[in-house]
Amino acid sequence: MITVRVFRDGVADEGTIEPSQIAECLAKDDAFVWFDASAPTADDIAALGQAFNLHPLTLEDIGHRRQRPRVELFEHYAFITLRPLTLNEKLVEHELHVVVGSRFMGTLRYGPEPYPVDEVVKRWERQPELLKTDPGAFAVYVLFDEIVDGYLTIVEQLEDKADDLEDLVFADDPSIDGSQIQERIFLVKREVVKLRRFASPMRQGLDLLQEQPGFVQATLLPYFRDVTEHAIRVFELADNIRDVLTSLLELRVAQVANHLNVVMKKLTAWAGILLVPTLIAGIYGMNFRNMPELGWRFGYAGALIVMGGSAFALYVMFKKKDWL
Amino acid sequence: MITVRVFRDGVADEGTIEPSQIAECLAKDDAFVWFDASAPTADDIAALGQAFNLHPLTLEDIGHRRQRPRVELFEHYAFITLRPLTLNEKLVEHELHVVVGSRFMGTLRYGPEPYPVDEVVKRWERQPELLKTDPGAFAVYVLFDEIVDGYLTIVEQLEDKADDLEDLVFADDPSIDGSQIQERIFLVKREVVKLRRFASPMRQGLDLLQEQPGFVQATLLPYFRDVTEHAIRVFELADNIRDVLTSLLELRVAQVANHLNVVMKKLTAWAGILLVPTLIAGIYGMNFRNMPELGWRFGYAGALIVMGGSAFALYVMFKKKDWL
Amino acid sequence: MITVRVFRDGVADEGTIEPSQIAECLAKDDAFVWFDASAPTADDIAALGQAFNLHPLTLEDIGHRRQRPRVELFEHYAFITLRPLTLNEKLVEHELHVVVGSRFMGTLRYGPEPYPVDEVVKRWERQPELLKTDPGAFAVYVLFDEIVDGYLTIVEQLEDKADDLEDLVFADDPSIDGSQIQERIFLVKREVVKLRRFASPMRQGLDLLQEQPGFVQATLLPYFRDVTEHAIRVFELADNIRDVLTSLLELRVAQVANHLNVVMKKLTAWAGILLVPTLIAGIYGMNFRNMPELGWRFGYAGALIVMGGSAFALYVMFKKKDWL
Amino acid sequence: MITVRVFRDGVADEGTIEPSQIAECLAKDDAFVWFDASAPTADDIAALGQAFNLHPLTLEDIGHRRQRPRVELFEHYAFITLRPLTLNEKLVEHELHVVVGSRFMGTLRYGPEPYPVDEVVKRWERQPELLKTDPGAFAVYVLFDEIVDGYLTIVEQLEDKADDLEDLVFADDPSIDGSQIQERIFLVKREVVKLRRFASPMRQGLDLLQEQPGFVQATLLPYFRDVTEHAIRVFELADNIRDVLTSLLELRVAQVANHLNVVMKKLTAWAGILLVPTLIAGIYGMNFRNMPELGWRFGYAGALIVMGGSAFALYVMFKKKDWL
Amino acid sequence: MITVRVFRDGVADEGTIEPSQIAECLAKDDAFVWFDASAPTADDIAALGQAFNLHPLTLEDIGHRRQRPRVELFEHYAFITLRPLTLNEKLVEHELHVVVGSRFMGTLRYGPEPYPVDEVVKRWERQPELLKTDPGAFAVYVLFDEIVDGYLTIVEQLEDKADDLEDLVFADDPSIDGSQIQERIFLVKREVVKLRRFASPMRQGLDLLQEQPGFVQATLLPYFRDVTEHAIRVFELADNIRDVLTSLLELRVAQVANHLNVVMKKLTAWAGILLVPTLIAGIYGMNFRNMPELGWRFGYAGALIVMGGSAFALYVMFKKKDWL
């Protein structure tokens, strides 16, 4: 579904225009044209290409999903791939292809749930002076900023999950299945690594955009630096969580090894405690004719006492050695 | 088997020419000569050397197989080693040596199954305008692009395999032999590492070609940047899969350690459950004359009950402790 | 709580001024204004922004906690985030936001226990000549220096803790719960990693400040180099402790594996020592009519001797093999 | 043993000259002097120093063995340390010190088996035109090339060994002692790491030589680039083998952990299968007077059937659970 | 204890002078003043500061111990921290603070056993021509060279220790306590890491000194390059030993896992061998009235044979499976 809107002097025109009217609009100096296609079809992409005169390579690349975030510079525009994440009950991975020039922007929002841009548009409208002087750069800055802020929310949530896992590992509660903790560590780690992989190329992308001559004007430079800084923060937080989770898994493996030791000590101790009286019972179960103890009055009681005593002695010894 | 074809103004001449006619062809400004040898013999290589006036070092290096992908610049040409992978029922590793100048290209395709270039030629013919203005660079770009696209297909397949392995590890199905999973992880990881090793030098190679003065003209620059971007994508995907597989193997090792704990707890529990009644039976198997219980009417039944009761009590205890 | 103080020629004026008087003060050439807010409210931040004419982005970023240490340069000031640590019975993590220009500094000290700056002010007063010639740079240098010195104190303490853990691991005292050591290693390591993460961006921050044209004058350069050197020292010490702790955990895991071997050898040995006499007792407990040994005079004694002898022989054998 | 030979216009003079005649020779423009000492004595080194007017530091460094490969530039010569490996039935490590100027080269070949240079000389004679125009650079190029080719041969052999080890690990043959495989992996890895350590500084060395102004002339540049490329190939192959061996050891450790699980399951299963009938036998071995089953006609047969039946049932159960 | 000596034209004056005379000495062009304080007091440091007009920051930094090796440049001198190691029966760690200008050097030698400088002075006297032309740089070069040579001696010794440990691991002698080997590996690794940490900043330090304009003259450049090269050699050797030790510990852990497998197989095998005859004995110990075998003449002998036979059969089977 294509929507094309025009902004003049930082303020949105009422209503939308047709893609075919874009060229006419761009001919005038004061307009900023935003072409948005959610769940775009091949026709939508062709319309976009024609409207902004895109390079055939861009159109070809737009056709592929699951790309890594990146910025590719062309003569009069930049082609940007973004991978926003939103958290709406559950984590949703989006893919967004953007072409942006000084005075136009095209956004293609893929997937079953296209990335919502309402918030982005609202922020454009909140700072019309910036949208007026440097529309393309400002529009793309807001988009990056929203996405990186989304990453920050998610990375902080993953940090909480990592903290919970740390508590769980430290509790070392035997009633929790060990594999389960390890599997949860693995899953959180994978999310963190994905976030890191999405945030890391953001920085290079932002640097590239700033190098595009005449694209980002001086007023916007602090904004680009700021969002870059936030992307680095996401990256470093993710890095840090990853390291903690790796250490945590190591700790968990060490704990499991300790548990095995404890179990084996118990096995050894109980085997000893049971086998010694069993041996004594075996001895008095022998059928030798000449076994004086068998005739003793308190022979049986004595045997029971010896059996109990030896078991008790072993029990005390193992307790002392902390095997039980 | 040598095939020499001539392209004029981006369009292929009918038929082929002899290697000896190449020099004559190159003397004219508008021709692009393509020398192709599949499963080349020493004679073929010598013919190639003579046709394009190659440096003796190139001819010597051409003689060696299993080289890493690379680009080496000489005065009037570049010597390129490529390692395409194709997936045709099973994964086939090819080796391709290329010499390319502004207006000629030589391809040597080795191996029992030489890398197929039909698709490459078709793509040349589809964009005659590019083959006309900058034939060498365009021809080599298409070759790189085809190979990197092949890598992308394979890396995505390996990603699927890694996902399957992840499911398998998470299922933690005891009926699957543990070693088998680990071995499969190892094998996929090895493929991924190979792909990474092949894709990584592609980037430097493409950079080198762009630095060769006058070789790549402005029109083709976006194309070279695009294929470079795809090579990076292969590299990063491979990197990512490798990390996931490494974590997966760690998780698997942790699972195995957990399983051992479970087995040992079971062993300990069952040993206790069986050894306690055995001890009791042993006691009443002793031959002391004075053992009052032996004469009791319900002595035997009582003993059985004590035996069963103690076993049951232990069973319940171990169940509660989650050892069974 | 806002406190605004004015320094003239490196010497503090008596009393404080109102935020609204700052602009007037800065208009005169000789004054250095210090705006300090401990546990600042939104109003305090707004006052700060107005007093020093801060960029809206700075004010927005000031609103977020748990940022990584960094320096962001604006036209007439630098925005600095710092994460001091103090050790006052227990480790306290602070957060400090600083804006600093050539002749003014604003400090926002967050958290339940704001970072104490008394020591910083004392050091300003001790070197009035530096505070006079280059007030902003000197003021911020002292702040960095105090924080890095705090890190040094803490990193040296963590080094002592790591040494203690090393002694504990080497003692290999079986009465200490193995998991406990591993958990303590993990906790110290986490502290070390945090310190490293805080100290590392200090260096880039200090470099950035020195690059701000005209901010740091020649007299102060050795001071900035010195504090940078100290930050590197913290970073390297932390790195080193981390490596030692990693090796220590590996050693610990190896020890646990060894212990398991020792326990299993003991189990095997004792099982053998007890089961062999049990078998012999079982043999003479059989009810065959024709068992000549049963009638022998010293049959019972002989059986006991054989049982004891075999147990003793096994004991000696296992002792020799070092299994017991 | 010193041998001094003179090459004029790329062709070797008949016979040898005395070290004392070198200065005279070098005075003439067309000569290239090669001073070779195999298993050199202190006198030989002094003679070399005098002949080519070497810096005292070079002479001091020449006195030490087991240095890492490197190139050190002096005013009129380069001092090169090389560590060739040859494979002659078994792997031999050599050490070679070389001083090379535009028109002279000195080689000191140490060790019980000095590195053979016959092949190097033969290659000089094969390209007299290069030895004529740029004798020092060409002579040293051939030396590097021969050594790097030696590395390539060896690295390919180590690759074969790694492949064999991989097969061995995958066979997972229980009759092979596990430790042995791990030790073999360790040993091959050590060789690979050594090769990597020798090949890696080759590259920097070659770069340094090319930077020595006027030493390497344009004609030779492709040759230096070529040998650099080969050194990189050795390095990357070694790196790759090392990674495979590391993964292989991990796989092996995981296999061993799996085996332990298998053994423990078997132990548990067999213990159960044997202990249950033992308990039953114990029960009917009790001496209670009132045990009706003892008088039954088929009591004994019934007991045997119950024992066998329970053992068989357990066996089937464990088989199903894949513990046996 | 302060000693101040003066060198004129590279030759030492007889006797020593007072610190107060230093200024006078430096006023003359030909003198090189060496101020040495072993186990310096606060007064000694103050005297040094006054004699050479040191920056207050230098004096403050001199007050701290356990610093990392480094070079800090000031206007007319460099402040150098060094951490020599000497091996005199046991390893001694020293700390040395040096300030060096073109014509003066101050050395502060700390610790219970200050670093001995006799050898350094002897080497100064051996090359008076260098001490004459560039006294400060030459003096400090000799100091670095002596220290790095000390490192080389120690790193080679650690290499020998690592070789011994390798032999020990390969011997895999069961009579050696496993933990002990691992602990020894850990200790050697720690020494190696320390050496690496001391040697690594040497290089940057030496580079910094060469960048100090006018400090190191052309004659001395090869000497500085040479000692840099030696520092790199120490660093790389240490790196290499560290890698070997890491692999060795991995191998050791793998061995321990193998041993456990062996022990468990033995336990399983022996348990089977003993429990089967025990079961048979239990069967014939049952008290059924109707057990025909009990009345057989050779019943007992037969039972013994069956018991021995089954044990022997199991023994052979386990031997074949290599479990015993």
The angle formed by the CA atoms of residues B65, B71 and B74, to the nearest 5 degrees, is 105
Instruction: Report whether D141 contacts D220 (CB < 8 A).
Output: yes
Residues 5-44 of chain C whose Cβ lies under 8 A from any Cβ of chain E: none
Q: How far apart are the C-alpha atoms of C185 and A116, rounded to whole Å? A: 45
Task: Of D91, D89, D4, D90, give the one whose Cα is nearest residue D50.
Answer: D4
Q: Is C187 on the interface with E (CB under 8 A)?
A: no
**Dihedral over Cα of E135, E138, E141, E143: its sign:** negative
Instruction: Name the helix (H) or strand (E) containing C78.
Output: strand C78-82
Instruction: Work out the average pLDDT over A228-237.
Output: 92
* Chain-chain contact of A290 with C296 (C-beta, under 8 angstroms): yes
**Rg (chain E; Cα; Å):** 35
Q: Is B168 on the interface with A (CB under 8 A)?
A: no
Instruction: Work out the average pLDDT over D32-42.
Output: 92
Minimum CA–CA partner of E321 in chain D: D175
pLDDT beyond 80 at D179: no
| E153 CB burial (10 A radius; 0-12, 13-18, 19+) | middle
Instruction: Report whether D154 contacts D94 (CB < 8 A).
Output: no
Instruction: Work out the average pLDDT over D2-28.
Output: 88
pLDDT band at D91 (very low <50, low <70, confident <90, very high): confident
Question: Subunits that touch chain D (at least 3 Cβ pairs < 8 angstroms)?
Answer: B, E
In chain A, what residues touch C263 (CB-CB under 8 Å)? 261, 264-265, 268
Number of neighbours of residue B11 by Cβ within 10 angstroms: 12
Q: Is A254 on the interface with B (CB under 8 A)?
A: no
Measured N-to-C along each axis, helices D178-211 and D135-171 cross at an angle, to the nearest 10 degrees, of 160
Q: What percent of chain B has pLDDT over 90?
A: 61
Q: What is the pLDDT of residues E65-103, one digit of tens each?
A: 888 899 999 989 999 999 999 877 778 899 999 999 999
pLDDT band at C1 (very low <50, low <70, confident <90, very high): confident
Q: What is the pLDDT of residues B155-205, one digit of tens each?
A: 999 999 999 999 999 988 766 776 788 999 999 999 999 899 999 899 999
pLDDT beyond 80 at C101: yes
* Chain-chain contact of E179 with C255 (C-beta, under 8 angstroms): yes
Instruction: Work out the average pLDDT over E265-291.
Output: 90
Instruction: Report whether D162 contacts D188 (CB < 8 A).
Output: yes
Amino acid making up residue E79 = F
Q: What pairs with residue A57 in β-bridges?
A: none
Tell me the two tokens of residue E236: 């790389």
Strand C90-93 with B31-38, pairing: unpaired
The angle formed by the CA atoms of residues E98, E100 and E104, to the nearest 5 degrees, is 120
In chain A, what residues touch B123 (CB-CB under 8 Å)? none
* Chain-chain contact of B283 with A253 (C-beta, under 8 angstroms): no
Question: Subunits that touch chain A (at least 3 Cβ pairs < 8 angstroms)?
Answer: B, C
pLDDT beyond 80 at A211: yes
Instruction: Name the helix (H) or strand (E) containing B129.
Output: helix B128-133
When the pLDDT of each residue in chain C is averaged and rounded to a whole number, the result is 90
Q: How far apart are the C-alpha atoms of E242 and E196, rounded to whole Å? A: 9
* Chain-chain contact of B226 with A179 (C-beta, under 8 angstroms): no
Instruction: Work out the average pLDDT over E56-60.
Output: 91
pLDDT value for A171:
87
Weakest mean pLDDT among A101-105, B109-113, D62-66, E310-314: D62-66
Task: Of A96, B263, C18, D191, give the one whose Cα is nearest residue E264.
Answer: B263
Q: Is A270 on the interface with B (CB under 8 A)?
A: yes
Instruction: Work out the average pLDDT over D283-306.
Output: 89
pLDDT value for B23:
86
In chain C, what residues touch E55 (CB-CB under 8 Å)? 222
Where would I find the H helices in A84-177?
118-126, 128-133, 135-171
Q: How far is A264 from chain C (nearest CA, A)?
A: 7
Q: How far is D261 from chain E (nearest CA, A)?
A: 9
pLDDT value for A25:
86
pLDDT value for E176:
72
pLDDT band at A256 (very low <50, low <70, confident <90, very high): confident
Instruction: Report whether B205 contacts B98 (CB < 8 A).
Output: no
Instruction: Report whether E248 contacts E306 (CB < 8 A).
Output: no
pLDDT beyond 80 at C192: yes
Classify E92 as helix, strand or coil. strand
When the pLDDT of each residue in chain E is averaged and rounded to a whole number, the result is 90
Q: Is B65 on the interface with D (CB under 8 A)?
A: no
Q: Is B67 on the interface with D (CB under 8 A)?
A: yes
pLDDT value for B239:
92
Minimum CA–CA partner of C167 in chain E: E183
pLDDT beyond 90 at C179: no
pLDDT beyond 80 at C105: yes
Instruction: Report whether C310 contacts A314 (CB < 8 A).
Output: no
pLDDT value for B186:
93
pLDDT value for B307:
93
Q: Which of C74, C263, C274 sits opposite A222 (nearest CB)?
A: C74
Question: Subunits that touch chain C (at least 3 Cβ pairs < 8 angstroms)?
Answer: A, E
Instruction: Report whether A111 contacts A79 (CB < 8 A).
Output: no
Q: Is A236 on the interface with B (CB under 8 A)?
A: no
* Chain-chain contact of E260 with C255 (C-beta, under 8 angstroms): no
pLDDT value for D28:
80
Q: What is the pLDDT of residues B273-308, one digit of tens each?
A: 999 999 999 999 998 888 888 888 888 989 999 999
Instruction: Report whether C269 contacts A269 (CB < 8 A).
Output: no
How many contacts, defined by CB atoms under 8 Å, are there between D and E? 122
pLDDT band at B82 (very low <50, low <70, confident <90, very high): very high
Sequence-ordered strand ranges (E) for chain D: 2-8, 11-12, 31-38, 70-73, 78-82, 85-88, 90-93, 96-100, 104-109
Q: How far is C182 from chain A (nearest CA, A)?
A: 7
| D268 CB burial (10 A radius; 0-12, 13-18, 19+) | buried
Q: Is E172 on the interface with D (CB under 8 A)?
A: yes
* Chain-chain contact of C290 with E271 (C-beta, under 8 angstroms): no
Weakest mean pLDDT among B60-69, C148-157, E147-156: B60-69
Tell me the two tokens of residue D121: 């000389």
* Chain-chain contact of C281 with A276 (C-beta, under 8 angstroms): no
Task: Of D93, D99, D100, give the one whose Cα is nearest residue D114.
Answer: D93
Q: Which of A76, A186, A268 to mutate to test the interface with B (most CBs of B within 10 A)?
A: A186
Minimum CA–CA partner of A276 in chain B: B279
In chain C, what residues touch A220 (CB-CB under 8 Å)? none
pLDDT value for C5:
94
pTM over 0.90: no
Instruction: Report whether E282 contacts B277 (CB < 8 A).
Output: no
Q: Which of A225, A261, A272 sits opposite C260 (nearest CB)?
A: A261
Instruction: Work out the average pLDDT over A237-255.
Output: 91
Q: Is B260 on the interface with D (CB under 8 A)?
A: yes
| DSSP assignment letter at B292 | G
* Chain-chain contact of E261 with D266 (C-beta, under 8 angstroms): no
Residue E44 makes CB contacts below 8 A (sequence gap 6+) with: E1, E2, E37, E108
Q: Is C272 on the interface with E (CB under 8 A)?
A: yes
pLDDT band at D310 (very low <50, low <70, confident <90, very high): very high
pLDDT value for A46:
92
The angle formed by the CA atoms of residues B200, B226 and A238, to the nearest 5 degrees, is 60
Instruction: Report whether A197 contacts B236 (CB < 8 A).
Output: yes
In chain C, what residues touch E67 (CB-CB under 8 Å)? 233
In chain A, what residues touch C182 (CB-CB under 8 Å)? 251, 254-255, 258
Residue predicted with more confidence, D91 or D141 = D141
pLDDT value for B290:
82
Q: How far apart are the C-alpha atoms of B9 and D187, rounded to whole Å? A: 60
Number of neighbours of residue C8 by Cβ within 10 angstroms: 15
Q: How far is B263 from chain A (nearest CA, A)?
A: 10
Instruction: Work out the average pLDDT over D156-173.
Output: 91
Tell me the two tokens of residue B183: 């071995």
Tell me the two tokens of residue A308: 């109990």
Weakest mean pLDDT among A256-260, A265-269, D146-150, E27-31: E27-31
pLDDT beyond 80 at C175: no
Classify A305 as helix, strand or coil. helix
In chain B, what residues touch D311 (CB-CB under 8 Å)? none
pLDDT beyond 80 at B56: yes
Please give the span between the terminal C-alpha atoms of chain C, in angstroms, as a whole number. 70
pLDDT band at C245 (very low <50, low <70, confident <90, very high): very high
pLDDT beyond 90 at D173: no
pLDDT band at E28 (very low <50, low <70, confident <90, very high): confident
Q: How far apart are the C-alpha atoms of B274 and E216, rounded to whole Å? A: 85
The angle formed by the CA atoms of residues C188, C192 and C193, to the nearest 5 degrees, is 115
Q: What is the pLDDT of residues D188-225, one digit of tens each?
A: 999 999 899 999 899 999 999 988 888 899 899 999 99
Residue A226 makes CB contacts below 8 A (sequence gap 6+) with: A145, C57, C61, C72
Long-range pairs for B170-176 at CB < 8 Å and ≥24 separation?
A: B170/A183, B172/A179, B172/B255, B174/B259, B174/D321, B174/D322, B175/D322
Instruction: Report whether C134 contacts C224 (CB < 8 A).
Output: no
Instruction: Work out the average pLDDT over A51-64.
Output: 90
Minimum CA–CA partner of D78 in chain E: E222
pLDDT beyond 90 at A35: yes
Q: How far is CA C265 from CA A77, B302, C66, D320, in A?
A: 73, 39, 52, 30
Q: Which of B249, B259, B284 sits opposite D286 (nearest CB)?
A: B284
Tell me the two tokens of residue C47: 């006052």
pLDDT beyond 90 at D315: yes
Q: How far is CA E226 from CA A96, C150, D209, E143, E231, in A?
A: 56, 39, 17, 13, 9
Sequence-ordered strand ranges (E) for E9-110: 11-12, 31-38, 70-73, 78-82, 85-88, 90-93, 96-100, 104-109
pLDDT value for C9:
87
In chain A, what residues touch B265 (CB-CB under 8 Å)? 263
Q: How far apart are the C-alpha atoms of D33 and D136, rounded to whole Å? A: 9
Q: Is D68 on the interface with E (CB under 8 A)?
A: yes
Instruction: Report whether B6 contacts B32 (CB < 8 A).
Output: yes
Instruction: Work out the average pLDDT over E139-166.
Output: 94
Minimum CA–CA partner of A260 in chain B: B261
Q: What is the pLDDT of residues C203-216, one digit of tens each?
A: 999 999 988 888 89
> What's the ipTM?
0.84
Q: What percent of chain B has pLDDT over 70?
A: 99
Q: How far apart are the C-alpha atoms of D313 and D305, rounded to whole Å? A: 12
pLDDT band at C312 (very low <50, low <70, confident <90, very high): very high
